[in-house]
Chains A and B, each alone.
Chain A
Amino acid sequence: MKAFLTGAWEFVVGDDWPTALGVVLALALTALCSSASIPSWWIMPVAVIGLLALSIARAAADRPGRR
């Protein structure tokens, strides 16, 4: 069971948990704004571009031999 759960976690979330967490938080913020009748369609595009840029920056910074 532990192996299955670990495998499922690695399969869905992978090694980049900050991005997965960011997606969940962005969806929660969208739901919160929507429930308060605040226009919220723009939140996800901004969040997605930001999360992707941060994820790539982290991967690039992890390069071995980088000065």
Chain B
Amino acid sequence: MSAGELGLALSVFLACAVEAVEALTIVLAVGTTRGWRSALAGVGAAMLALAAIVAALGPALTALPIDLLRVLVGGLLLIFGLQWLRKAILRAAGLKAKHDERETYAQERRAAQAAGRGGAGFDAYAFAISFKGVLLEGLEVAFIVLTFGANQHRIPLAAAAAAAAVLLVAAAGAAARAPLAKVPENLMKFAVGVMLTSFGMFWGAEGAGASWPGGDAALLAIIPGVLLAAIVMTRAVGRAQPPVAGGEIAAAPAEAREEATVRAWRA
């Protein structure tokens, strides 16, 4: 396995694992409150939808000329990676609340209990909440699988890494029968942000016609360089901006983005 393939597999695995942990919390809350049959049907339908998106868009992306593909994929990965990294830096610096799976679980359970029952048999609420939870959490992963995989013409490897992460998280969730609150989500998001930003920068510049000194070996300097810069920024912003009570930026931009996406697609 080459360094590029290792980076691809690791990035997709980590990104998928962290999103799967968040999706698991929603499904667990709905399943334990309303019943498993409809909740798992929603999970299955969402997984099929995500697989269909990857299967439909993958061949179209890999058919693009290599330079166009690299500049397109590089640019998109960079925009995504910088957003992941920004959120992770703000959380690590104590300026934004970390994701609390236990609190999310409790909120989802309260909402599931408050929602009315549609009658015996199929539970539309459980199906819809599970479907939307898995689909929305999975879309970013599908995007990463497609872009990373298409650029290296290794979509099957990216999909396998994603599937391995889902299976691992599902097995851990089934064993624990509780949200995976101890998973170091922010550390994983930090790592994914560094990888997406580094590979995005590398491929984007190559696609735009630049030649990196040392060719592919430049990644061995780019990845540690981005990591170092992110650590320096975390410490600098943490020192300059002491955390407010609760350590959260109210209506933080990244959260606003997620909520806006959900609202737009629910409309």
B contacts with A, residue count (CB < 8 A): 52
User: In the complex, A34 Cα to B207 Cα: how many Å?
Assistant: 10
Which residues of A in the span 37-53 have a Cβ within 8 Å of any Cβ on B?
Answer: 39-41, 43-45, 48-49, 51-53
Does residue B122 face the partner (Cβ distance < 8 Å to A)? no
Q: Given that A14-B254, A48-B201, A59-B95 are contacting pairs, would A19 and B249 also be in contact in the complex, using a CB cutoff of 8 Å?
A: no
> Would A52 and B205 count as touching, CB distance under 8 A?
no
* Chain A residues near B79 (CB-CB < 8 A): 12-13, 19-20, 23
User: In the complex, A20 Cα to B82 Cα: how many Å?
Assistant: 9
Q: Given that A11-B261, A62-B253 are contacting pairs, would A23 and B208 also be in contact in the complex, using a CB cutoff of 8 Å?
A: no
* Chain A residues near B207 (CB-CB < 8 A): 27
Q: Which of A24, A35, A52, A59 contacts B209 (CB 8 A)?
A: A35
> Would A53 and B233 count as touching, CB distance under 8 A?
yes
Which residues of A in the span 14-34 have a Cβ within 8 Å of any Cβ on B?
Answer: 14-16, 19-20, 23-24, 27-28, 30-31, 33-34
> Would B78 and A48 count as touching, CB distance under 8 A?
yes
Contact with A along B158-200 (1 / 0, CB 8 A): 0000000000000000000000000000000000000001000
> Would A27 and B75 count as touching, CB distance under 8 A?
yes
> Would A60 and B95 count as touching, CB distance under 8 A?
yes
* Chain B residues near A41 (CB-CB < 8 A): 205, 210-213, 218
Q: Given that A7-B265, A52-B233, A66-B241 are contacting pairs, would A27 and B208 also be in contact in the complex, using a CB cutoff of 8 Å?
A: yes
Does residue B237 face the partner (Cβ distance < 8 Å to A)? yes
The stretch that binds A, out of B17-25, B39-47, B224-232, is: B224-232
Please list 24 pairs of residues, one from A and one from B, whose beta carbons are closer than 8 Å in the complex, sorted by A's number.
Answer: A11-B140, A14-B253, A15-B253, A16-B253, A20-B79, A23-B82, A27-B75, A31-B71, A31-B209, A35-B209, A40-B209, A41-B213, A44-B205, A49-B229, A52-B85, A52-B197, A52-B233, A56-B233, A59-B96, A59-B249, A60-B237, A60-B240, A63-B244, A63-B249
What 6 pairs between A and B have smallest CB-CB spacing?
A: A34-B209, A7-B264, A14-B257, A30-B208, A31-B208, A10-B261
Q: Given A3-B267, A27-B208, A45-B201, 16 other A-B contacts at CB below 8 A?
A: A3-B264, A4-B265, A7-B264, A15-B256, A16-B83, A23-B78, A27-B205, A30-B205, A34-B209, A39-B210, A40-B208, A44-B204, A55-B82, A56-B86, A56-B237, A66-B241
